[in-house]
Amino acid sequence: MVLAGAEASEFMAKVFTIPVPPNLNRKKRERTTDPRYVDGQRILVEAMKYLAKSDPMSNRRAIEWISEHVRTRFRMSDSPLG
């Protein structure tokens, strides 16, 4: 169903953005690497290598699941910056 004219505008929403100027006086936090973060990534990669060596065809779904975890959840939620 295609709506035209005034009918279409009844279903539209306006989005307002409020620009915030950057605070130039704020000190930037020094970046430090959390060894637990690096070890966690290393362990997941080692697990994928082990699964690929033992039986790549039957472990394919497990390898894909771990790979997806490394690419999305692990990197987004577990920041080494704390």
**In this predicted model, what pLDDT tens digit does every residue of 23-79 receive, in sequence order?**
888 887 777 777 887 888 889 889 999 999 999 899 999 988 888 877 765 555 555
Question: What DSSP letter does each residue of 18-72 carry, written as one string?
Answer: ------TTSPPPPP---HHHHHHHHHHHHHHHHHHHH-TTTTHHHHHHHHHHIII
pTM: 0.49
CA 39 – CA 44 distance, rounded (Å): 9
Sequence spans of domains, the chain: 32-77
Q: Which amino acid is at 47?
A: A
- The pLDDT assigned to 11 comes to 64
